[in-house]
Amino acid sequence: MSHAETFGNLKHGLSRLLIAMGALSIGFSSASLAQQQPPAPAGDTPILFQNVRIFDGKSPTLSAPSNVLVRGNVIERVSADPIDVAAQAGARVLPGNGRVLMPGLIDMHWHAMLVRPTPAILLTSDIGYSTLLAGVEATATLMRGFTTIRDMGGPAFSLKRAIDQGLLPGPRIYPSGAMITVTGGHGDFRQLSDLPRTIGGMLARVEQLGGSMIADSPDEVRLRTREQLMQGASQIKLMAGGGVASPFSPLDVATFTEPELRAAVEAAENWGTYVCTHAYTSVSIQRSIAAGVKCIEHGHLMDDSTARLMADKGIWLSTQPFLDMSAASALGPAEQAKMAKVVTGTDNVYALAKKYGIKTAFGTDVLFSEALAKRQGAMLATLARWYTPAEALAMATSTNAELLKLSGLRNPYPGRLGLVEEGALADLLLVDGNPLENLDLVADPERNFLVIMKDGRIYKDTVPK
């Protein structure tokens, strides 16, 4: 071999090594940013809520007049006895004057990136504009008292990172990443002119944006699941049946096969987390359970035997109180007709959940409507149709927090949420009134939530001085 050939081979090898090292460095960097970015630290000054009555997230009654000391991002002390302010190194005192202190609210079915844009705006805008729009909505969400949301589909990873770094106010986000669907399934927003799909060809616009990913085999499902986990997903969302908003997705259709669903479950379990499925009908719910899915989203059209199966298997139901057509106001006639069928099933799903004692979480599933998002708390208040105020508030706090724990080591916010007790994370609301007597107070957060605290930081303080 000549010197020139030797040098050429060395040069080629060195180039390959440098490229590989660069790729490895980028990989480590993106993984660190996606999964290991710590939340912005809480302030150093202790905060004392003085003379409050506590709804702790579980009890059907309020506590006796009490005092709650927050240090850093944790509730350090809950006491019926006075807490010496002078001994707390200049603690900031918030006089409760007998008002109610309760945990921050949790919405288990939110779409942070999909609330404000219409489908057309979403598909024709760049991701930068969509993220800025979502940032404004995230701040509004927090100011409605929802300190945590589980994002059930959309490219929310950058938004979550910005909130966690303290760049803008917003709730804690448990991201799913892109919704995984099949050709023609719920979340496939392609037009007929986009068909046929070329295997290995260009991604559809909704896939390019990270809103949903189309997968038509166990291998494709496994790949798309792993991609979301790589980006920092805390749980995985699959569309196991038809939906309202998608143009070519009848409600009665069962989409993924059991092997396809099981591929996602196995991939998620390898990462220590779980899969939830969008499913209205009994067929799609039963198939999901057979594949190992841990949580069903919606369930409005299920039958009695399916509800009994969910209870027997300990499957979570994350459902929403759809009572009118407002959720479909921005959609076309066909989509509104599908929404009408879902609305007729709302009383049924809550009746079955109560009949069989299904583990039930609260969420809203607001899409494409800033006006409807403003009614987030009002949707929680409608649970009074089926539950006592204490039961409804427990569902939106401590019960929802129990479901969040299924993320295991993928939980981006380790610690106890949804509770007012010593050692819990300090997500707190000071309410002007008693929500255990009047659940409608949560429907008007601007007036009734005097203090909003997330992670030990105060984002709103309108306590009368």
CATH code at position 263: 3.20.20.140
Q: What's phi and psi for 174, nearest 5 deg?
A: -100, 100
| Residue 55: domain span | 47-103+420-461
Please give the pLDDT value at position 30: 38
Give per-residue pLDDT as tens, 357-366: 999 999 999 8
Confidence of residue 207 (pLDDT cuts 50, 70, 90): confident
276 or 195, higher pLDDT: 276
Q: Is residue 17 part of a domain?
A: no
Same domain, 201 and 306: yes
- The proportion of the chain whose per-residue pLDDT surpasses 70, expressed as a percent, equals 89
- For the entire predicted model, the pTM comes to 0.88
With cut-offs at 50, 70 and 90, classify the pLDDT of residue 450.
very high
pLDDT of residue 42: 56
Band of pLDDT at residue 211, cut at 50, 70 and 90: confident
Are both 200 and 276 inside the same structural domain? yes
Same domain? 99 vs 111: no
Do 168 and 256 belong together in one domain? yes
The answer as to whether 268 is a domain residue is yes
Is residue 437 within 8 A of residue 381, CB to CB? The reply is no
Last residue of a domain, one of 366, 386, 406: 386
Helices (H), 204-270: 205-209, 218-231, 258-270
* Residue that is last in its domain, among 363, 386, 409: 386
Q: Residue 383: what residue type?
A: L
Given the DSSP bridges, would you call strands 457-461 and 275-281 parallel, antiparallel or unpaired? unpaired
Helix (H) or strand (E) holding 164: helix 157-164
pLDDT at res. 121: 73
My answer on whether 99 and 184 are in the same domain is no
Query: Which residue among 386, 404, 438 closes a domain?
Result: 386
**Of residues 166, 159, 151, 153, the one with CA closest to residue 128:** 159
Q: Is 230 a residue whose pLDDT tops 90? A: yes
Instruction: Choose between 30 and 243: higher pLDDT.
Output: 243
Q: Given this model, what pLDDT does residue 307 score?
A: 98
Q: Quick one: tokens of 42?
A: 């809480």
388 pLDDT band (50/70/90 cuts)? Answer: very high
Confidence of residue 46 (pLDDT cuts 50, 70, 90): very high
Q: Which two tokens stand for residue 135?
A: 């940032």
For 293-333, the pLDDT digits (tens) are 999 999 999 999 999 999 999 999 999 999 887 766 667 78
Report the number of distinct structural domains present in the chain: 2
Please check the confidence at residue 425 and state whether its pLDDT lies above 90.
yes
Confidence category of residue 465, pLDDT binned at 50, 70, 90: confident
What is the rounded distance in angstroms from the CA atom of residue 319 to the CA atom of residue 112? 17
Q: What is the CATH number of the domain that holds 64?
A: 2.30.40.10
* Exposed/middle/buried for residue 209 (C-beta within 10 Å: 0-12, 13-18, 19+): buried
Structure tokens, 396: 């939106």
Q: Please indicate, yes or no, whether residues 356 and 436 belong to a single structural domain of this protein.
A: no
Cα dihedral 299, 300, 304, 309 in deg (nearest 10): 10
* Residue 197 confidence (pLDDT): 77
Q: In the chain, what's the furthest Cα-to-Cα distance?
A: 90
At residue 198, the pLDDT reads: 72
210 lies in the same domain as 70:
no
Inter-helix orientation angle 346-356/333-344, to 10°: 30
Residue 22: pLDDT band (50, 70, 90) is: very low
Q: Is residue 195 part of a domain?
A: yes
Residue closest to 328 by CA, chosen among 245, 252, 272, 210: 245
Q: Inform me whether the pLDDT recorded for 11 exceeds 50.
A: no
One domain, residues 72 and 109: no
Instruction: Judge contact between 358 and 352, C-beta under 8 A.
Output: yes
Provide the mean pLDDT of the chain: 87
In this prediction, residue 32 carries a pLDDT of 38
323 in a domain, yes or no?
yes
Query: What integer pLDDT is reported at residue 18 of this predicted model?
Result: 35
Answer with the residue of higher pLDDT: 117 or 236.
236
Torsion, Cα of 206, 207, 209, 211 (10° steps) = 70
Nearest to 285 by CA among 221, 365, 277: 277
> In this structure, is residue 34 part of a structural domain?
no
Q: Are residues 175 and 262 in the same domain?
A: yes
- Helices vs strands, H then E, count in the chain: 16, 18
299 and 369 in a common domain? yes
Q: What is the mean pLDDT of residues 193-197?
A: 74
Average pLDDT over residues 356-377: 91
pLDDT at 432 over 80: yes
Instruction: Check residue 28 and give its pLDDT.
Output: 34
Instruction: Assess whether pLDDT exceeds 70 at residue 126.
Output: yes
Check whether 64 has a pLDDT greater than 50. Answer: yes
Q: Indicate whether 403 belongs to any domain.
A: no
Phi and psi dihedrals of 223, rounded to 5? -60, -50
Q: Which of 434, 346, 342 is nearest to 383 (CA)?
A: 346
